[in-house]
Each structure stands twice: as structure tokens, then as C-alpha cells.
Amino acid sequence: MDRCKVFSGNANPELSAEVCKHLNLQLGTSHLTRFSDGESYFQILENVRGVDVFVIQPTCSPVNTNLMELLIMVDAFRRSSAGRITAVIPYYGYARQDRKDKPRVPITARLVADLITRAGVDRVLAMDLHANQIVGFFRIPVDHLYASPVLLKYVADQAYPNLTIVSPDAGGVERARAFAVRLNAQLAIVDKRRVGPNVAETMNVIGEVTGRTCVVVDDMIDTAGTLTSTAKSLKEKGAERIVAVCTHPVLSGQAVERIENSPIERIVATNTIPLRKEAANSPKFVQLSVAELLARAIINIHKETSVSELFL
């Protein structure tokens, strides 16, 4: 690993430091700041010529600022003759805009992929993309990791009785089914009708949830409107306990307040995104680390060995 260096943006420096600890590497030295008008400025403070560079930067809130930081950092490494540049993007912003579902709208997930590629990235390491098709938006190799090994271990260790895995919508059935199979649990689906952006109306619960411990599985929690309405429906159907697990705790707007006032007992999320202060101080939230998983992927990419062994 002597020709491998890891650098971090401002989006999640704690995760980057933890990844480096698992790699037994020092985090690369650089200077990343902003001018008074908001422009980002980046300078690499060590030689990276011919080095295998990994830039860790989730494009979480503030999404546009963190995305621009990533692009600027990549451009600096390209102009400094880095041997290979891998963008490690634990959370991919704009992932929900992955198709043209209305007239005259952009496919922003593809636009962001083009920007990252044109900036000079040679490879992308992502985690739990909102839609698998985003991998195909890139013209460069993409290693798509899943946080499910970390989340599954937590749920299994809790030994919940009468366990039912719940998908909050039809789109998440495959993910929920994989959890149910590995935990030897039942599967339930919430039929949801979305009536507007960030607004969803829950309709029906398909499956047996009465008297059972329901674990709702999703890739992200944003405003928590879907999650809390799902929890309400499950409770009305007789669910005894409700737990939610997700990879990306976006938690925008009134999400934390909604969760605090809901029948959800526990929210389990990973550290692809830093927890908001209100969530970090709440006993309802548990955050698990994916740093070791990312570190193992970085080692395999650097050594040109298979990354697929990390897939679940």
C-alpha cells in the first residue's frame, strides 16, 4: 500500500479518518477551504505523481457544495499526475433523479455521472445507490458496494422474536426479500402511492405483521414521511415493535421530529453521511460504521483483486 494515498473532502472527514485507520495509512495532507464568496479552493500538500489516489467524498448536504468540492479535488489530482484516481462516494447525491418520469425534466443522476467522469475520475466506488441503473450512467468502472452485511449483523445480533422484514414500497422489495431470506424471517410490503415530491400516501400492508417485530428496510431516510406513515400503518395492523434500518441517514427537514413522534422504536443507519446533531443526541438512533467495508474495497482495488467478494 506504499503507492496508495487516501484524501478526504469536507463532507465526512470522520469516515475518511476511520477508513485510513483500517488501512494503517495516514490521511493525505491537503488544504480545502472556501473564499468569502463561497468558491471552493483546494491544494494538495504532498507529491502524488504516479500514486493510486482515493478521494472520499459523499455528496450529501450541502449537496452542490460537496459535489463541487469533489470535482475540484479530482481536477487537482489529475493535473498533479496522479497514477489513478478513484472517487469513493459513500452517498451519491441526485440519485433519485435517475429517469425521465415527467415531461421536460432532466436525468440529473446521469448529468452528475458525466461531471465526475469529465473531471478526470478513473474509477468510482459507491455504496447502496438508490437505483442500480446509475452504474450504467458511467463510462468508467464502478464498484457498487452494499451496506447490508453491517446492517444484517446488527439485526441478527438483536435476536428479535417473530421477525418480519418490511419493504416501505414496491421498489424496495428485492432489498427486503434479501434481508428476509438471510434472517429466515417473513416478508411484508407496504403499497404506497406518491402524490408529490417528498410526499407519499400509504395505502395497504401486504403480509402478516400482527403481533410481530417489524424491521423496515430502505436505502435512505430523507424527510421520513414515507417511513413514519409506514410505521403508522404497521401499528394500525397490529405490529408489536417497529425498527427501521437504512444505509443513508439523509434526515432533511423535519425528519428527526417526525421520527421522535412516531411509533418507531429504533433507527439503525450507517455513517455514509454524518448524523445530524438532533439525531446523534436522540436515543432512537444507532449509527453503524461502514469504514472497514470501504477499506477492504480500497485494498482490493489497489491490489487489482476482486471486489465482488465483498458483495452480499
Tell me phi and psi for residue 120, to 5 degrees.
125, 15
Whole-angstrom distance, CA of residue 115 vs CA of residue 306 = 27
Residue type at 173? V
Q: Is 192 a catalytic residue?
A: yes
174's torsion region: left (phi>0), alpha (psi -120 to 50) or beta?
A: alpha
Contacts of 102 (CB under 8 A, 6+ apart): none
Residue type at 167? S
Three-state SS annotation for 146-173 = CCHHHHHHHHHHHCCCCEEEEECCHHHH
Whole-angstrom distance, CA of residue 206 vs CA of residue 93 = 31
Residue type at 247? T
Q: Which of 21, 192, 237, 303 is catalytic?
A: 192
Tell me phi and psi for residue 235, to 5 degrees.
-65, -40
Whole-angstrom distance, CA of residue 87 vs CA of residue 138 = 12
Reduced to 3 states, what is the DSSP secondary structure of residue 21?
A: helix
Tell me phi and psi for residue 249, to 5 degrees.
-85, 75
Best CA proximity match to 172, nearest among 215, 201, 143, 209 = 215
Reduced to 3 states, what is the DSSP secondary structure of residue 176?
A: helix
Contacts of 166 (CB under 8 A, 6+ apart): 176, 187, 188, 189, 190, 207, 209, 214, 215, 216, 217, 230, 234
Catalytic residue annotation = 192
